[in-house]
Structure 1
Amino acid sequence: MTKTQVFKFGGASIKDADSIKNLANIFRNRLRKNLIIVVSAMGKTTNSLEELLELRINEEDWYQKSAILESYHYSICEELFPEGHSVFSRIKNWFIQLKNEIERPVSKENYDEAYDRIVAFGELIATTIVMEYLCSQGLIVLWQDARELISTNADFRFAKIDWNQTEKLCRSQLLPKLDQFPVLTQGFIGADANGRTTTLGREGSDFTAAILASCLDACSVTIWKDVPGVLNADPKRFENPLLFDELDYRQAAQMTFYGASVIHPKTIKPLANKSIPLFVKSFLNPDAKGTKIHATGIQNPIPTLILKERQILVTFQVTDFSFIEEHHIHEVYRELDQLKLRVNLLQTSAISISIVIDYQVYKLEKLVEKLKGIFKVRYNEDLQLLTILNPEEELVRKFSGTYSILLEQVTRTTFQLVGKPK
């Protein structure tokens, strides 16, 4: 049996009808048995679903935004399918289910579980449309609900994988199908032991591709992006970025840890453990070489710039005359773990602990409430975190001058600053 390949397509690659037609063209010469296709929600659908949930929690009118989102998907279908095609009734059914989920009781306390139930519809709707279009073009694929494959715990929004159960499900559910046709499934979503929908963390579709590849001992994973491969800087923010022809697993993992958005942070480990190469290629230029991530054993010395938006700097200061000790850090990290907040940068002084975290709805107020009895808590919102890996002195000097810096950290291989652009 030929080894499985996994392709992953993000939201930008299916944002409109022309993009979906382009995806079909990519498959004309590549579609074969033993191929798994992982697809994200279309365009900015996930953002829209997050906004719907927030409107619902705040008891504001969410119906108009829901209608706009539904219309967006219908308009794509109208360009791809003839009137009366069965896809329209299928999409209508998904939106009826979505509205029923939004109307269920929801509060700040059960936000994470409601989030997973609602946001998952983006992937379910997108894969339905893509599957129907590919089949209409004679490119037959089988639709698979990822919640029947990806088994997780109940840590909603950041679910952890039950690897043993997931592998059993992948082998029993996927292998018989892959021997006949390619399989199309959703990224980002799974289900817990009780069948409740979970998600793997924002932008988690890359991780889904890696999970499926690892469980089936695939020969490769290819992530299709709107960039030519892995670059040393985001081309939307920095001029003249350089393309990496290849990267070692460790260097790629380090880049994702600091926030490089081209690959989800959890993607590398399961692939490296099985020595499965990861290709990052352009869906705009599918025949170009792209970037290959594998075991090179070599660190590429090119400086890499990574920018994270919507960062929050939180400082916890002791309220008496004692100094910061290990138990203070333990108190902070215990609450961060409870709230599933990841620290992007940590710095301690004699009397304070400073952390940088991503913005997440309602999480900051909960963190402050939990720790205000132990520390004096201060925070700054809407900041940027700039990381330069393999920094050069001239580059550090250039960017330092463009920020009002609140915090700075330097190691042998990394320069980081937190602040606001001047």
Structure 2
Amino acid sequence: MAKTFVFKFGGASIKDANSIINLSKILHNRLRNHTVIVVSAMGKTTNALEVIISKKMDMKEYSSNITILKNYHLDICQTIFPENHPIFPTLENQFLKLSNALDYSLSKENYDEFYDSIICFGELVASRIVHEYLCLKNIFCLWQDARDLIETNEDFRFAKVNWEKSKKNIKKQLLPKLEQFPVLTQGFISGAASGKTTTLGREGSDFTAAILAACLGAASVTIWKDVPGVLNADPKRFEKTVKFDELDYREAAELTYYGASVIHPKTIKPLANQNIPLFVKSFLDPDAAGTKIHGVKQPNTVPCIVVKDQQILVSFKVTDFTFISEAHLHQIYGELEKLKLRVNLLQTSAISISLVMDNQIFKLEKLTEKLKAVYEIKYNSGLQLLTIKNHNAALVKEILGEQPLLLEQITRATFQAVIQPSAQ
């Protein structure tokens, strides 16, 4: 059986008409039957849909936001398609479905489920447009709804993959198509057994590519980005960056855990388990080597810098003069597990526990409500979590400068600090 290749294109690679034309050129000489193309929502579409959901939650008018988003996609289509192309009624139909889905009631209780039912339209619309354009350019491929392939539980926004069911779905529905044509599908979105739409976590399209690759026993996965490969720091934040020609699975997984945005955190494990190499390449320079993530014996010693924005520092202080024990940790982590809140940093003292986590709407409110009878709870929001792997004193001093630290943690290999960013 021929080996499958998986290509994933993120939002930046299909953000406008020229980007979609560029994607078609990248695929022109690389496409073969056993290829899966995974696409994200176009540009900042997911952000735009989140604003619409937020306005709906706050009972504010959002129809103009839908119109702006529709016109954004329509302008792209009018540039790259002939006037009477079928993509235009398809686009109209998708935005009609979006408007209908937004008519359903929204509350704190059903927020996550509602979120997934709306946010999926970004990927659905993008995949239709890209699929039709490739076919227009005689790069024939089949469109596939990812929700029929990747089955999950109903942990909306952070759905857990049912690997056994997903593998059966992929082998039954996807594999026969790949024998005839390349297949284009969506990243990020998935489906529960009930038929409800779920998602795999923000920026989860990389994980989609890894799931498909693992279930198909693919030869490789290639993620196309607006950077030349995996860098030791975000080039938008730091001037001097180093590109890795190759990186070990474990090193890459650790960087994603700390918040490196180049790859979704869950992407590495399914690939590493089957020794499937992951290539990170630039859609701006597609012939460049990029970075190969695979089994590398030589450990990395280059300092790596990761900054996570919109962090919350929460402190739980015992009120009955007892000292912090394992029971307190177990109690707090039990509530975090129920709310699907992930801790990015933990620090304990004699009488308090401090946690750093992503800002998630309504989740902190529910957490404090559950634990306020036992602890005095305080929190700071709008923070940054800085992580320096393979740190040294000079580098730490250079990056931090005079910024005040709310929390600091140092191990042999890793420096972490919680910072209150200065007002811009």
Any residues of structure 2 matched to 1:225-264 within 5 Å, and which?
A: 225-264=225-264
Deviations 1:264-312 (A, max 9, x none): 0000000000000000000000000000000112221000000000000
- Paired residue type of 1:10: G
Q: Which residue of 1 aligns with 2:13?
A: 13
- Paired residue type of 2:157: R
- Paired residue type of 1:241: T
Q: Which residue of 1 aligns with 2:364?
A: 364
Structure-1-length-normalised TM-score: 0.99
- C-alpha distance in structure 1 between counterparts of 2:367 and 2:75, whole Å: 42
- Paired residue type of 1:115: Y
Deviations 1:332-383 (A, max 9, x none): 1111111111100000000000000001112121211121111000000000
SS at match of 2:223: strand
Q: Which residue of 2 aligns with 1:401?
A: 401
How far did 1:83 drift?
A: 1.0
Give the number of aligned pairs.
422
Q: Which residue of 1 aligns with 2:279?
A: 279
- Paired residue type of 2:311: Q
Q: Which residue of 1 aligns with 2:35?
A: 35
Q: Which residue of 2 aligns with 1:419?
A: 419
- C-alpha distance in structure 2 between counterparts of 1:346 and 1:229, whole Å: 31
Q: Which residue of 2 aligns with 1:348?
A: 348
How far did 1:58 drift?
A: 1.3
Q: Which residue of 1 aligns with 2:224?
A: 224
- C-alpha distance in structure 1 between counterparts of 2:327 and 2:298, whole Å: 39
Compute the RMSD of aligned alpha carbons.
0.8
Any residues of structure 2 matched to 1:4-403 within 5 Å, and which?
A: 4-403=4-403
Kept in 2, the 8 Å contact 1:6–1:209? The answer is yes
- C-alpha distance in structure 2 between counterparts of 1:373 and 1:117, whole Å: 35
- C-alpha distance in structure 1 between counterparts of 2:12 and 2:96, whole Å: 25
Kept in 2, the 8 Å contact 1:345–1:356? The answer is yes
- Paired residue type of 1:307: V
SS at match of 1:376: strand
- Paired residue type of 1:23: L
- Paired residue type of 2:174: L
Deviations 1:209-252 (A, max 9, x none): 00000000000000000000000000000111000000010000
- C-alpha distance in structure 2 between counterparts of 1:55 and 1:396, whole Å: 40
SS at match of 1:22: helix
Single out whichever of 400-409 and 90-99 deviates more from structure 2. 400-409
Unaligned ranges ≥5, structure 2 = none
SS at match of 1:252: helix
- C-alpha distance in structure 1 between counterparts of 2:142 and 2:288, whole Å: 28
Deviations 1:180-220 (A, max 9, x none): 11000000011111111000000000000000000000000
- Paired residue type of 1:410: I
- C-alpha distance in structure 2 between counterparts of 1:344 and 1:127, whole Å: 33
SS at match of 1:266: coil
Distance of aligned partners of 1:297 and 1:400 in 2 relative to their CA distance in 1, 3 Å threshold: same
- Paired residue type of 1:134: L
Kept in 2, the 8 Å contact 1:402–1:421? The answer is no
- C-alpha distance in structure 2 between counterparts of 1:47 and 1:402, whole Å: 33
How far did 1:401 drift?
A: 2.1
- C-alpha distance in structure 2 between counterparts of 1:36 and 1:323, whole Å: 55
Kept in 2, the 8 Å contact 1:5–1:34? The answer is yes
Kept in 2, the 8 Å contact 1:147–1:190? The answer is yes
- Paired residue type of 2:302: I
Kept in 2, the 8 Å contact 1:253–1:265? The answer is yes
How far did 1:392 drift?
A: 1.4
Q: Which residue of 1 aligns with 2:3?
A: 3
- C-alpha distance in structure 2 between counterparts of 1:214 and 1:331, whole Å: 36
- Paired residue type of 1:175: L
SS at match of 2:420: strand
- C-alpha distance in structure 1 between counterparts of 2:361 and 2:18, whole Å: 34
- Paired residue type of 2:239: E
Identity within the alignment, %: 62
Kept in 2, the 8 Å contact 1:228–1:285? The answer is yes
How far did 1:3 drift?
A: 0.2
Deviations 1:58-77 (A, max 9, x none): 11101111111111110110
- Paired residue type of 2:131: M
How far did 1:402 drift?
A: 3.9
Structure-2-length-normalised TM-score: 0.98
